[in-house]
Amino acid sequence: MTAHFTSPAFKENAHQALHDPALQRALGNVESGFIAKRRKAADKLPEFEALRDSARDIKNHTLAHLDLYLEAYEARVTAAGGQVHFAPTAEDASKIVVDICRRVGARTVAKGKSMISEEIELNAHLEAAGVKPIETDLGEYIIQLRGERPSHIVAPVIHLNRDQIESDFRRVHRDLPPERDLHAPESLLAEARGVLRQKFLAADVGITGANFLVAETGTSIIVTNEGNGDLSQTLPRVHIVLASIEKLVPTLEDASQMLRVLARSATGQEISVYTTFSTGPRRPGDVDGPEEYHVVLLDNGRSAMLGGEFREMLRCIRCAACMNHCPVYHAVGGHAYGWVYPGPMGSVLSPSLIGVDKAGQLPNASTFCGRCESVCPVRIPLPKLMRHWREREFERHLSPATVRSGLKLWGFFARRPRLYRLATRAGMGALALLGRGKGRFRTLPFAGGWTATRDFAAPEGGTFQAQWAARKERA
């Protein structure tokens, strides 16, 4: 595993994020943008909740028979003249893509948005092989200019403000007139389009991700709002689809059901602006399309999840509704999570893919408020799955020593009601005496994380159980 991550430093990352005024300003857009739009789209569709059930069921069925659907999918792709490559690891997937690029003598590659490409760190591998990757999704293009990583799986530059992007464009697009007006977001989009259009034409290979792979027809489906995916896959000579194995759905009918919940959950759109289907290379008589068509199917730990307690995570369709509704994501943004997948879905998935020893902070950094589960279009019980990671950590003694010893002490008393009543009565009496002047504490040992910024209410004095017993005796 060569993955580059800072997930073990989640707390430090979060600290920096909380003290970054530009980031905090940008993060305001997550709350104000996505949530109301999703609500509105869901409310407009009376059958939305039933569609979520159906989406969950389609994915459950597919995962239960994934071997079958993978075989069927491969057979259809092959019949259409394409080739499927199975990649057990991230390294394998990058190597397959790089080998194809080398074989066809590619100098530049036009890329549509793909989180799998991030997961396998494809751009670094391509560059090392002398192939220039060009991100064609506006957000990914900006990320590439800045040498960053996406901070959100649908809106990669949600951590940036418009003025930051304008200064990047002025820095990089040197051949354009410096006095041009880039104030409106549309003008940034138009400029990126103009720059990218020439690159599409020059690219030898196009790489896209996939939102769904259809076993029935061997089709890959992508949804975009810019149309860059269409150009990435139709203009170059070679088209490579990069997808993970859980993207399969059985039929086109199933795919269309999934599309109905995807855009509504992600951006509040009824459907994305472009929904693009691709099945194999150009056929005789087709006016456009690639000469070669490849699908690289990444496993990278997913088949191991199939048989275990994290299987439900494989239903995820990457809509990002969970992070859009997460109070922790709102506070710290996506980069703090330290790897490719942020927010609640990442807090479950990342430990599976890079190890709980490295990503263990993530499933702990949740209040378990449950808002993610309440909006997940495929009803993944995200808090429950995060709790499963905490159980694994506890079993493997990976939880912090302070947490373990605190729990142990609490558990010792809580298991012994009589001792508990004696100890708590004495303890609360003492604390009540200490705090009685003000009724609260400004500092407390072992609770510095709380009292640094919040007061802590002092006990009223006397436990409820003791007072209740005394009252009953008097009565």
Using CB under 8 A as the binding rule, whether residue 418 contacts other proteins is answered as: yes
Using CB under 8 A as the binding rule, whether residue 18 contacts other proteins is answered as: yes
Of the ranges 186-194, 220-228, 294-302, 453-461, which one interacts with other proteins (CB under 8 A)? 453-461
How many angstroms separate the CA atoms of 470 and 259, rounded? 63
Among 22, 130, 417, 434, binds other proteins (CB under 8 A): 417
Using CB under 8 A as the binding rule, whether residue 369 contacts other proteins is answered as: yes
Using CB under 8 A as the binding rule, whether residue 312 contacts other proteins is answered as: no
Using CB under 8 A as the binding rule, whether residue 357 contacts other proteins is answered as: no
If the CB atoms of residues 93 and 356 are measured against other proteins, the closer one turns out to be 356
Of the ranges 59-67, 83-91, 282-290, 432-440, which one interacts with other proteins (CB under 8 A)? 432-440
Residue that the structure tokens 């009496």 belong to:
429
CA distances in angstroms from 192 to 186, 187, 475, listed in the order given: 10, 9, 80
Q: How many residues does the chain have?
A: 475
Using CB under 8 A as the binding rule, whether residue 49 contacts other proteins is answered as: no
Among 367, 409, 422, 426, binds other proteins (CB under 8 A): 367
| C-alpha distance across the termini of the chain, in Å | 69
Of the ranges 43-51, 73-81, 312-320, 452-460, which one interacts with other proteins (CB under 8 A)? 452-460
DSSP string, 36-65: HHHHHHHHT-TTHHHHHHHHHHHHHHHHHT
Binding positions for other proteins, 73-132, rule CB under 8 A: none
Shortest gap between Cβ of 277 and other proteins (angstroms)? 37
If the CB atoms of residues 2 and 367 are measured against other proteins, the closer one turns out to be 367
If the CB atoms of residues 280 and 342 are measured against other proteins, the closer one turns out to be 342
Among 4, 15, 183, 197, binds other proteins (CB under 8 A): 15
How many angstroms separate the CA atoms of 254 and 55, rounded? 8
Using CB under 8 A as the binding rule, whether residue 392 contacts other proteins is answered as: yes
How many angstroms separate the CA atoms of 36 and 268, rounded? 8
Using CB under 8 A as the binding rule, whether residue 322 contacts other proteins is answered as: no
Shortest gap between Cβ of 307 and other proteins (angstroms)? 17
How many angstroms separate the CA atoms of 376 and 264, rounded? 11
What are the φ and ψ backbone dihedral angles of 459, each rounded to 5 degrees? Answer: -65, 150
Using CB under 8 A as the binding rule, whether residue 422 contacts other proteins is answered as: no
Size of the site for other proteins (CB under 8 A): 73
Using CB under 8 A as the binding rule, whether residue 364 contacts other proteins is answered as: yes
Binding positions for other proteins, 326-345, rule CB under 8 A: 327-328, 330-332
> How wide is the angle at C-alpha 39 spanned by C-alphas 34 and 45, nearest 5°?
130
H or E, element range at 276: strand 274-278
Q: Which of 30, 62, 404 is nearest to 412 (CA)?
A: 404
Buried b (16+ CB within 10 A) or exposed e, 295-334: bbbbbbbbeebbeeebbbbbbbbbbbbbbbbbebbbebbb
Of the ranges 57-65, 146-154, 297-305, 438-446, which one interacts with other proteins (CB under 8 A)? 438-446
Residue that the structure tokens 């203009």 belong to:
235
Helices (H), 212-301: 228-234, 252-266
Shortest gap between Cβ of 466 and other proteins (angstroms)? 8
Binding positions for other proteins, 218-257, rule CB under 8 A: none
Among 4, 11, 39, 65, binds other proteins (CB under 8 A): 11
Using CB under 8 A as the binding rule, whether residue 44 contacts other proteins is answered as: no
Residue 111 DSSP SS3: strand
Using CB under 8 A as the binding rule, whether residue 374 contacts other proteins is answered as: yes
Shortest gap between Cβ of 12 and other proteins (angstroms)? 10
Shortest gap between Cβ of 188 and other proteins (angstroms)? 29
DSSP string, 18-42: HT-HHHHHHHHHHHHHHHHHHHHHH
